[in-house]
Chain A
């Protein structure tokens, strides 16, 4: 093989791998991306039963019920629309009523949402950015505190 042919061979292989990568990415994009919905989004845009989504908002006060057998039910709200979420498992440490939460799962035919993953992670004041934006959109954004960093709002009584 001449130098030129050799170079051509390497370029063909490189393009082949690049093509493979692009193809895989496009395929995965069409198939495995999970969209975030606020309760209002669900009503506005509609979600097919069985479609895997993330539903996020605030956990409604006094809505948490224990159904036994490690199953809980609570409401996720953005103060405009509210949906009931059923989850079987251990709730994350930072799950609280009145706090932001993201649940991942699907709606069933009857309109109930069954989650297999509940995220409320890492920080008492951590508001998932999706939830914060959704609340701002629905006009129910209340606290600046939720947006500030952990170090600035740590311990509610802020230092003078």
Chain B
């Protein structure tokens, strides 16, 4: 009954979305307020209905109602509750419902807090947002209905792919989707602005927080996915340049570019049509990611759906939205008034440079991801574009960008004094040089590029610190005044510094893992030892352990260094009887600077066990850096000027705009 209610709610949501798509748009066109005002209640109702459908589906999973085909296929009564819940989106149909739920939530937020938007803009934004909802609700109802019943109902479900039964992975999809769908909001704003034929400051003020929120969610989602891959796949790598990973990286890079160009659009009124184009591209890449991952074009853990009807449906959605919005852009963008002249050496130019390099980076990932698919489709030739391709393309484009990052925030708007900005970075440059030489002295056996990588990382962190130091006049005024300035500094400035500094920490982690990783593959009988990076690993014994819905073979590995005992590591191989699959759980010991990573392999013929171990220098910093970047995004989002619906008092308007 509850399940049928959910299905019914989803159908109703489609009806409401159809109204929300058509009526406010007509109202905005005819300037009829009563028609435009339909948008807000419709958006709220749509959200309520989709939430009801999602709740019904969650209920079916929690109570293990195996008469629902989706629950039967993806759940098992013995599964821990957390994975029963995450099983809702651990499959194709449920994940699409989650997608639409987040879409409807964002629409509802605009309806609730959008009072300060011009009426026609708000009506159009909600209409565009509803059109996306219509497309995806049709997709769900016609090709991927999650509420199908089975008759007779089976007694037990088939379980969830064990690889998805993991704490980080359980919450990776919601974050990723919040990011993807967050860009739908900026897309709706961009399309609405094109229809309006006008982009004003209030438009840009609205687009920025949405971009920030989407970027922040996507950062967290990608970081979680990469962390999961690191400790689960047993190879000790953090990024595999797998097409599925690239599918999420592309909107992230485009979103990063959008984040920066939206600053120019808001503060200076320049780069407006470029910002609109980026908003369209960021969402297009999100849709492309959904298409790649959901269509079965790529076979992987993500490709639940290998039904050609679904692939063609999503491809249709992709073509309509991307093609339609780009056509609209080509037609309307020339009518947008451009404003805000700036000199070639200015903050605007620096942000434009950032955008050009980021766009080139997206393009290189795009080619590397789609070229193999295209080649296969056209010629049947199978190729793999792996890490070497991206090392040759993505990295050389990204490194100059990273070099410029600390300079950007120190440049003035319109016309910058580059000499003064460079002087402020002297200390950071000195530290980077010291880091380079120190790395070279300590680790001269690593690749020759590694010291430069570490210098780049220090340059980013010290550059971010220099920016704050300059803004609060550290050392040039009494300390008390500096502290006062630090307190008054807009949160957005702290956010920028945190995000840029976090980037530097992540770079250090990436360089550390890539340049100085030690690897050990050996087979040990219980009692035998092996050495890696100064640590002695002793396989004490191998035993069995029962988990809630699996049984595990556990290796007890004693770790010692220079004769000092450091404890034991317990790598596992888990067997899931319900799913009839195995899953490796690496054991990781971290001290914040390096990870000791141990994987238990197969039992060899002579009673020995294969053991694989890595010593990954600076590995934790990759995710610490990612977390700091996300924190920076959150800080910026909390900035008063960006707070959705926050009144902008006269004082705020009169005060000289604090630079980012």
Contact = CB atoms under 8 A, between A and B. Distances in A.
Contact of A148 (B306, B363, B521): B306
8 contacts: A28-B368, A68-B608, A69-B523, A89-B521, A93-B583, A94-B582, A121-B300, A123-B301
B521 A128 contact: no
B364 A25 contact: yes
Contacts of A66: 604-605
Nearest to A15: B356
B392 A31 contact: yes
B173 to A, nearest CB: 16
Given A34-B384, A70-B522, A123-B161, A90 B392 contact: no
Contacts of A93: 573, 581-584
Contacts of B602: 90-91
Given A24-B364, A27-B392, A93-B583, A150 B385 contact: no
A89 B604 CA distance: 12
Interface in B353-370: 353, 356-357, 360, 363-364, 367-368
Contacts of B583: 93
Given A18-B360, A69-B522, 19 more contacts: A6-B343, A9-B344, A10-B349, A14-B356, A17-B356, A31-B392, A34-B384, A35-B382, A69-B523, A70-B612, A89-B521, A122-B163, A126-B299, A149-B296, A149-B305, A149-B307, A150-B304, A151-B74, A155-B158
Contact of B381 (A9, A35, A88): A35
B386 A34 contact: yes
Q: Which among B154, B364, B391, B392 has the highest number of chain A CB atoms within 10 Å? A: B392
A33 interface: yes
B112 to A, nearest CB: 37
A43 interface: no
Given A6-B344, A24-B364, A122-B163, A151 B304 contact: yes
Contacts of B584: 90, 93
A21 B393 CA distance: 7
A68 B604 contact: yes
B580 interface: yes
B606 interface: yes
Interface in B596-618: 599, 601-602, 604-606, 608, 610-612
Interface in A135-155: 147-152, 154-155
Interface string B162-180: 0100000000000000000
A21 B523 contact: no
A29 interface: yes
Interface residues of A, number: 53
A90 to B, nearest CB: 4
A36 B612 contact: no
B397 A124 contact: no
B304 A89 contact: no
Contacts of B341: 3, 6
Given A122-B163, A149-B304, A151-B91, A68 B73 contact: no
A70 B523 contact: yes
Contacts, number: 154
Nearest to B361: A21
Nearest to B612: A90
Given A70-B601, A154-B579, A155-B580, A36 B306 contact: no
Chain A interface SS verdict (over half): mixed
A124 B163 CA distance: 11
A21 B364 contact: yes
Contacts of B45: none
A80 interface: no
B366 to A, nearest CB: 10
B388 A28 contact: yes
A129 interface: yes
B107 interface: no
B95 to A, nearest CB: 12
B403 interface: no
B1 interface: no
B234 interface: yes
Interface string B61-102: 000000000001110000000000000000110000000000
A122 B522 contact: no
B433 interface: no
A35 B383 contact: yes
Given A21-B364, A25-B364, A151-B74, A33 B383 contact: yes
A26 B396 CA distance: 14
Q: Which among B300, B352, B384, B521 has the highest number of chain A CB atoms within 10 Å? A: B384
B345 to A, nearest CB: 11
Contacts of A6: 341, 343-344
Contacts of B343: 1, 6
A29 B150 CA distance: 49
A9 B602 CA distance: 61
Q: Which among A31, A34, A91 has the highest number of chain B CB atoms within 10 Å? A: A34
Nearest to A129: B299
B389 interface: yes
Interface string B390-402: 1111001100000
Contact of B386 (A17, A32, A154): A32
Nearest to A1: B344
Interface in B254-275: none
